[in-house]
Amino acid sequence: SETRSKLTFQIPFRSLLGYRAEFTQDTRGDGLIHSIFAGYTPYKGEIQKNDKGALISAVSGKATEYALGPLEARGKLFVSPGDLVYPDMVI
């Protein structure tokens, strides 16, 4: 009982930046995106930004104040300086 849907849109390329990863996650890897250049159009304003996401550790070790300081402005932190972290851990 597989179903398929085909959706066709004309949207600015700049709105697709970063969306492929979100689409893959939303469709659990089963979705396909295909895009072609349809031409230039006049600027139509800002694109609404979605501030969802997670802060992910790249390495293992102790979290430091130096590393966490700049990240505080980007999102809620779940670790404190001195906590042990591992690669791919949500911090």
Chain segment 18-43, per-residue pLDDT in tens:
778 778 888 888 888 888 888 888 88
pTM of the model: 0.43
User: In this model, does residue 1 exceed pLDDT 60?
Assistant: no
Reported as a pLDDT band with limits 50, 70 and 90, residue 51 is low
Bridge partners of 84? 62
Average pLDDT of the chain to the nearest whole number: 83
Residue, of 50 and 45, whose pLDDT is higher: 45
SS3 content of the chain, % helix, strand, coil (to 5): 25, 5, 70
Mean local confidence (pLDDT), 52-66: 85
